[in-house]
Structure 1
Amino acid sequence: MLDNQIATSLPYKLYRADQVRDNERTAAENSGCDMFALMQRAGASVFRQSEQLVPDAQSILVLVGQGNNAGDGYIAATHFKNAGKQVVLCAVEPERELNGDAGRAQAYWLSTGGKIETYSNSYLEQADLVVDALLGTGINSAVRKEFSLIIDNLNASDVAVISIDVPSGLDANTGQALGQCVQADVTLTLVGIKIGLTTGAGKQFCGKLAFDDLGIGKAFKSLAKSCASVLTIEQFDSMKPRNINSHKGSYGRLLCIGGNKGTAGAIRLSSEAALRSGAGMVRTYVHSSSVVQVSAGRPELMVTDEGLEKALEWSTCVIIGPGLGQDDWAEEAFQMALKHCQHHCKPLVIDADALNLLSKQATAYTINDCILTPHSGEAARLLGVSVEDIEGERFNYARQCAQRYHALCVLKGAGTIIDNESTTWVCAHGNPGLATAGSGDVLSGILGALLAQGMSTELACKYGVTLHAKAGDEVAETYGQRGMIASDLFAAVRNLLNQ
C-alpha cells in the first residue's frame, strides 16, 4: 500500500458529499460544460492517475455498479482500451441498462467493442490494476451482499486499487465504512474533496488522496461554502526572529501540572517539549514522589511539589493533565488550577487525566483561552457517548465538545480535527508512528509553549497540532514509523520551529 497522505498541492477546502452533488451541475453549466462532459473528464483523470500508480500495468480490471460512479468507470475503461491495455469490465448487474449520463457512458463503452462481464475471481487474479467504480457518494446504508463479496475479494488481494471519488462502501461525510469498504491505494476524489476522506477510518481506506476539480473548481467554490479546511505546515509563516535584547521572561512562564505517584514520565515529556518549543521558563508541579524522576537529567526544568497557588500566580499560562491521575491529590490540583485560570483569564491546555476529571464536573468551567486535547476515549467521556460514536462521526463530536465546553477542541487521531465552535480544520500530516505512549503529552507541551510565547489560542492550536504531526512525519521519513518514541519528536520540532 502507498503511504497514507494528502498531497500538499491539494486545495485546502473540504466539502460534504451532498454539497458536491447539489452544486456540480450548476458549476458545470457556469463553466460551459454539461454533466456528461464532466463524466468524460473524470474518466480521463482516472486513466492519468492510474498511469502514475502502476505505469507498466497491462491488465486492467474495472469494477462498476449502477450510478454515475459507474459511468466514470465506463469512460476510464474506454481510455485504457484505446491505450492498448487488456481491459476487463465487470458489473454487479451485467445485464442492466443504465440511465442518464451513466447510460451514455455504458453505451459508449459497448460501441467501442467493450464487453460487460460478470465478476469472477479469475479476473482479479490476472489484473495488474483495479479501478473501483462500484459505489459512489450516494450510499447511505449498509453495503449489499453482491457488492460486499467483491469488496472482500478485492481487499484480500495484493493488486493495486484506484477508487473513483470515494472507496466503495465509505460514507463520504463521516469516513466510516458502511459494512465492507474498499481499501484503496489511491482515491481520486472529484470536484470537491469529501470531508470523510481526511480523518479517522476514511483516511485509512482512501490511501493516497488525489484530487481533480474537472475544470469547474472556480465555479463550484463560488456556489458551495466549505465545511472544513485542511492544515499543512506550508500554510504557516515562520516565527519572527527573537529580539536581540530579549530575555527568558520575554517568552512566557509556563506551568505544567501533573506527574502523580508512578506517572512522572508524562509530565516530563510535556515539560521538555515546551522547552524545546521555545517557552522561556517552564515550571512543573508534581507529586512529591515524582520530583526526582521529572528533574533528573533536565536541570532546565523547575520542578516543585509544593506551593501550587504561588506557582499559578507566577505563570502566564498552564498545562494540566499529563500523568495527573484522578485521586484526591489530582482533584485538588485540578480544582485550584481551573479556578485560578478562570478568575485570572490565563490560557489553559487541558489534557489526559484532567479531561477525565473535567467530564465528572457537575458545573461547567468557562475559560476564555482554553484548549482541550482529547483522544476518542476521552472525548466519549466528556460527551457521555461511546468511543464508537466518536469515531463514527468525528467532525460532529469535535464540534459538540467545543460547544459544550466553549473551548478549542483538538480531537486527536488519524486526521486530527480542531474545532472552535464555528470553524473546523483537519491536520493533513501525521502517521501511525505517532500512535505511541507520550505522543499526546508532547503535543500538550508544544501547545503550552506557543501560548506562552504570545500566540493566540486559535493560532497556537492550529500551528501546534500541525507542527507536532509534521515532526512525526520527519522522524518517520528518516528512521521509519516503527520504534518511534515520543521524545524522538523533540529535535524535529525544534528544527521545524527554526526554519
Structure 2
Amino acid sequence: MRRLSDKPGLPYALYRAEQVRRMDAYALEIEGISAAELMARAGQALFDLARSLYPDSRRWLLLCGLGNNAGDGYVVAALAQAVGLAVEIIQLGDSQRIQGHALHHLQRARALGVSIRQGLSGDLPPADLIVDGLFGIGLDREVSGPWRAAIEAINRHPAPVLAIDIPSGLHADSGAVLGAAVQASHSLSFIGLKPGLFTGIAADHVGQLHFSGLQVPARVYASELPSARRLDWARQIGQLPRRRATAHKGDCGHVLIIGGAPGFAGAARLAGEGALRSGAGLVSLATHPAHAACIGQQRPELMCHGLDGAEALRPLLQAADVLLVGPGLGQSDWARRLFEQAMAVERPRLLDADGLNLLAQKPQRLVRTVITPHPGEAARLLGLGSAQIQADRFAACEQLRQRYAPVVLLKGAGSLVCSDGDKAPGLCSAGNAGMASGGMGDLLSGIIAGLMAQAPGLGLGLEPGLDWAWAAELGMVLHAEAADRAARRLSQRSLLASDLLDELPGLLREAE
C-alpha cells in the first residue's frame, strides 16, 4: 500500500518549483553555500535514507538523467560503492551534455569503479533497490521515447524505488502525470516541499514522503512566501477554542440541512450527524416526507421536517444560522423549488452535491458561501472535463473561487481550500483510499456546516467572512484524520462514512 506520510518533521510550507529554484540560488549566492556542497549533502541524505530503509539491500541500481538529480544519484553511487555494495548506473540521454558538479560526481563514480551502462533496452537488470534520478522538478513536458520506456521499466521491476526529490514524470506544481511517472516506494524531497507531491494522482506515485532541508539557513525560507500550506490534525488541533463554561445551545449555532430526496435519506442523515458531532447546538433537517419520521426515530437529536413544497421551508430558513443545501437533494421539481428558496435568503450557506449541480445550471457568484465540489462537480461548474480538473487542481480551485464563492473546498486526494483574502491555499495531507465510498462527502459537509454555525460564538477574532475558511479547513482535516483512525481500527477496504462518526468525539476531546 502506498500513501503519503504525515510523519513528524515534514514542513507545512509548500513551494512551487520556480520558488525552490530561487531558494536554491539564494543559498548559493547570498549564503555562500557552494553547489558542490548542496549536491554532496543531497547525495549523503539519500544514501543515509536508503541504508536505513533497506539495510539488507546489496545490489543498487540508479537511473540517471542529465540534470542535478542525476548528480545527486552519482553521489549516492559513489557512497554505495565505497561501502562495498554492488552498484550500477544506467545513464539515459547524451552523457556529453552533463556539466558542472554533476559531471564531477559522475567522473568520481567512474574513478571508484561504479559500473555505468549507457541507455536501456528492455527490462532492468536484477536489483534490491532502484534509485530514480531521471528527472527533477523542472520537468514541464510530456515524457516520451526512451525516457518513458525507462519509467515503465522501473514500474515493472519488483524492487523498491527511492525517488530523488520527486518521482520522475510527476509535475512538481500540480501533481499531474506527464505521460508516465515513476511509482516510488519512498521519495526524498529537498529544500522545500512541492505542492505536486500531495494532490491529484500524486499519492499513487510518491509513496512514503521524506524531507531534507540540506541544512540551508532559515533566511532562505524567509525569502519566499509559501504557495500553499500543508494541513494535518497536528497542525489544526489548536484551531478550535474551548467553549465557555456558560455556553448554551443558542451560542453554538443552528444548522438547517436541506436534502434527502426519496432513496437518499442516508445522505441527509449523515450530514445531520456530522453537524451534531462537530458541535452545532441545533440541527434541523428539511427533507422529503417519505422518511422524515424514520430519520427522527433513528437520531432523535435531529429535528426532522417532512416538506411537500417550498412554502413550508420559509420558517425553517428564518430560524437557521447556517444552511447546508444539497446532500441527497436530487434535481427534481421538488428539489429545485427548495434550492431556489434557500438561495433567496441572506444566510451563510454551504452547497454540496446536488446543490452544486443545481448551481451549475444557473451559475452565479455567491457571498457568505462555502462550496465543496468533488472533481466531477467541479467539472460541471467550470464546463470542463474531470481530467482537466485533476490535471491542475490548484488552478481549478482558484477558478471556482473567482467564479462562484469566497471559500472553495475541492475534494479528492489532497483536498484543497481556496478562499478570498491573501492566505495561501490549504492542502490536506491526511486521508486514505478507504474514503472512496458513498456518504463521505455528505458527512464532510455536515461537519463543516456545524463548525460554521459555531464560529461567530467562539471569539475567534477572524475577519468577516474568513470564519468560513476556518471552518472549511478545520472540517476537512478533522474528517480526514477521523478516516485515518477508523481505517487503522478497521481497514481501508471496509471503511464506511458512518465509521468516522465514532472517531469524532475522541478527536474533538484532543482539541479541548
- The TM-score range, normalised by the shorter chain, is over 0.9
CA RMSD in angstroms comes to 1.8
1:218-258 superposed Cα distances (whole Å, 9 cap, x missing partner): 23212222110100111231644434433322211110100
CA distance in structure 2 between the partners assigned to 1:301 and 1:43 by the alignment: 58
What's the counterpart of residue 338 of structure 1? 343
What's the counterpart of residue 133 of structure 1? 133
- Aligned pairs for 1:310-459 (under 5 A) are 310-340=315-345, 343=346, 346-362=347-363, 364-368=364-368, 370-421=369-420, 422=422, 423-454=424-455, 456-459=467-470
Whether 2:497 is the aligned partner of 1:486: answer yes
Contact preservation (8 Å) 1:61, 1:123: no
1:296-329 superposed Cα distances (whole Å, 9 cap, x missing partner): 3111111002321100111111111000111111
Contact preservation (8 Å) 2:14, 2:229: yes
Contact preservation (8 Å) 2:4, 2:429: no
What's the counterpart of residue 465 of structure 1? 476
Contact preservation (8 Å) 2:371, 2:405: no
CA distance in structure 2 between the partners assigned to 1:298 and 1:161 by the alignment: 49
Q: Tell me by how many angstroms 1:121 deviates.
A: 7.9
Q: Cα 1:109–1:406, aligned 2, differ >3 Å: closer, same or farther?
A: same
Q: Tell me by how many angstroms 1:292 deviates.
A: 3.2
Contact preservation (8 Å) 1:28, 1:219: no
SS of residue in 2 equivalent to 1:55: coil
Q: Tell me by how many angstroms 1:476 deviates.
A: 1.0
CA distance in structure 2 between the partners assigned to 1:445 and 1:386 by the alignment: 27
Code of the residue aligned with 1:245 in structure 2: it is T
Contact preservation (8 Å) 1:27, 1:223: no
Contact preservation (8 Å) 1:318, 1:347: yes
Code of the residue aligned with 1:420 in structure 2: it is S
What's the counterpart of residue 267 of structure 1? 268
CA distance in structure 2 between the partners assigned to 1:187 and 1:275 by the alignment: 40
What's the counterpart of residue 290 of structure 1? 291
Contact preservation (8 Å) 1:238, 1:498: no
What's the counterpart of residue 258 of structure 1? 259
Code of the residue aligned with 2:270 in structure 1: it is L
Code of the residue aligned with 2:16 in structure 1: it is R
Identity between Structure 1 and Structure 2 (%): 38
Code of the residue aligned with 1:496 in structure 2: it is L
Q: Cα 1:385–1:120, aligned 2, differ >3 Å: closer, same or farther?
A: closer
What's the counterpart of residue 210 of structure 1? 210
CA distance in structure 2 between the partners assigned to 1:111 and 1:203 by the alignment: 38
CA distance in structure 2 between the partners assigned to 1:29 and 1:172 by the alignment: 24
Q: 4+ residue stretches of structure 1 with deviation over 6 A? A: none
What's the counterpart of residue 229 of structure 1? 229
Code of the residue aligned with 1:492 in structure 2: it is E
CA distance in structure 1 between the partners assigned to 2:373 and 2:288 by the alignment: 23
CA distance in structure 1 between the partners assigned to 2:175 and 2:293 by the alignment: 45
What's the counterpart of residue 496 of structure 1? 507
Code of the residue aligned with 2:162 in structure 1: it is I
SS of residue in 2 equivalent to 1:177: coil
Code of the residue aligned with 1:321 in structure 2: it is G
Q: Tell me by how many angstroms 1:187 deviates.
A: 1.0
Q: Tell me by how many angstroms 1:441 deviates.
A: 0.4
What's the counterpart of residue 16 of structure 1? 16
Q: Cα 1:24–1:265, aligned 2, differ >3 Å: closer, same or farther?
A: same
Q: Normalization by structure 1: what TM-score? A: 0.95
- Aligned pairs for 1:107-122 (under 5 A) are 107-118=107-118
Code of the residue aligned with 1:188 in structure 2: it is L
CA distance in structure 2 between the partners assigned to 1:225 and 1:241 by the alignment: 31
What's the counterpart of residue 160 of structure 1? 160
Contact preservation (8 Å) 2:23, 2:221: no
1:72-101 superposed Cα distances (whole Å, 9 cap, x missing partner): 110111111122211111111475462122
Contact preservation (8 Å) 1:239, 1:498: no
Q: Tell me by how many angstroms 1:123 deviates.
A: 8.4
Q: Cα 1:219–1:454, aligned 2, differ >3 Å: closer, same or farther?
A: closer
Q: Cα 1:434–1:382, aligned 2, differ >3 Å: closer, same or farther?
A: same
Contact preservation (8 Å) 1:14, 1:193: yes
SS of residue in 1 equivalent to 2:131: strand
Deviates more, 1:418-427 or 1:314-323: 418-427
Contact preservation (8 Å) 2:365, 2:403: no
Contact preservation (8 Å) 2:74, 2:106: yes
CA distance in structure 2 between the partners assigned to 1:240 and 1:4 by the alignment: 29
Contact preservation (8 Å) 2:64, 2:70: yes
SS of residue in 1 equivalent to 2:290: helix
What's the counterpart of residue 300 of structure 2? 299
Code of the residue aligned with 2:117 in structure 1: it is E
1:245-281 superposed Cα distances (whole Å, 9 cap, x missing partner): 3332221111010001221110110001111111111
Code of the residue aligned with 1:333 in structure 2: it is L
Contact preservation (8 Å) 2:414, 2:427: yes
Q: Tell me by how many angstroms 1:120 deviates.
A: 5.7
* Runs of 5+ unmatched residues, structure 1: none
CA distance in structure 2 between the partners assigned to 1:4 and 1:246 by the alignment: 39
1:392-442 superposed Cα distances (whole Å, 9 cap, x missing partner): 010001011011123210000001000004431100100001111000000
Contact preservation (8 Å) 2:3, 2:203: no
SS of residue in 2 equivalent to 1:188: strand
Code of the residue aligned with 2:493 in structure 1: it is R
Deviates more, 1:474-483 or 1:91-100: 91-100
Q: Across the two proteins, how many residue pairs are aligned to each other? A: 493
Code of the residue aligned with 1:268 in structure 2: it is R
CA distance in structure 2 between the partners assigned to 1:360 and 1:316 by the alignment: 26
Contact preservation (8 Å) 1:249, 1:280: yes
